[in-house]
Amino acid sequence: MWNKLIEAEMKKDYFKNLDLFLEQELKKYTIYPSKENWFKAFEETPYEKVKVVIIGQDPYHGENEAHGLAFSSLSDKRPPSLKNIFEELKSDLNVEIPKTNNLTDWANQGVLLLNTVLTVRKDEANSHKNQGWETFTQNMIASLHKKDYLVYILWGKQAQAYEKWITNKNSLIIKSAHPSPLSVYRGFIGSKPFSKTNEYLMKNKISIIDWHLEK
C-alpha cells in the first residue's frame, strides 16, 4: 500500500522538484540518512500494521545517527531528545531505560516513526526544510484517514501543525511539548503518552505496544 502511495507522489511536480534538489545535494554534500533508508519508516511499518504515528522533525545530522525512523538512532551516543523520551517512558510505565537507541522494534509493532522532512545535510539541521518533503509527509499522513482507532503522538509545534491532516474522527491525538532539552519542561515531562496510547488501543480491542527495548 505504501509503495503505491509513494509512487503516486513521485509523479507529482513538487516531488520531481524535490528529486532534483536531492540529486544536487548528493553531489555536493553528505546526506543523512543514506539514500536506501529515506523511506525506512514505511518499510518497517506497513500501512496495514500502523497503530500509532509519532511525528518527528528532520533526521539527526551527526555521523551514524539517522537511519530513517524518527527519534531512533544507530549511534551509541544517545541524542538528548531520545534520552528524555526514555525517561518519560520509565516514569510513565516503569519501563527500564534500554541500552539501545534503535527504535526498530517499536516500528515493527505498528509505530510509524515519521519525520516531517526525510533528509538532512551532515551537521546542518533543517537544511532540507521547505524543499517538498513536508508536502510528501502531509499526504502520507492524510492517506491514513481510512484507518480507525489510530493514535497520533504530536510532540512540539512542528508536529502539531500536522493535526489538520488527521481527519478520521476515530483517532486519539496526544499533544505535548517536544522532548528536546529546550522544551522538555514545558509539558513533555509527565504527559504519559505511552500509557495513554495503550489504554486507547486496549479500549478499542487492538493489541497494545510493548515499549520495552533491548536492556
Supply the DSSP symbol for 124.
B
Contact of 171 with 164, CB cutoff 8 Å: no
Residue 46: name the closest of 6, 81, 76, 8 by CA. Answer: 6
Annotated active-site residue 105? The verdict is no
Name, in order, each residue with C-beta under 8 angstroms of 30's C-beta and a sequence gap of 6 or more. 121, 122
Residue 70: name the closest of 78, 79, 61, 58 by CA. Answer: 58
* Sheet with 52-56: strands ordered across: 111-115, 52-56, 150-155, 171-176
Residue 41: CB atoms within 10 Å: 26
Distances (CA, A) of 59 to 119, 183, 205: 6, 18, 33
Residue 194: name the closest of 87, 45, 105 by CA. Answer: 87
Cα 142 to chain centroid, rounded: 15
| Annotated catalytic residue, options 13, 58, 105, 210 | 58
Contact of 213 with 100, CB cutoff 8 Å: yes
Catalytic residues: 58
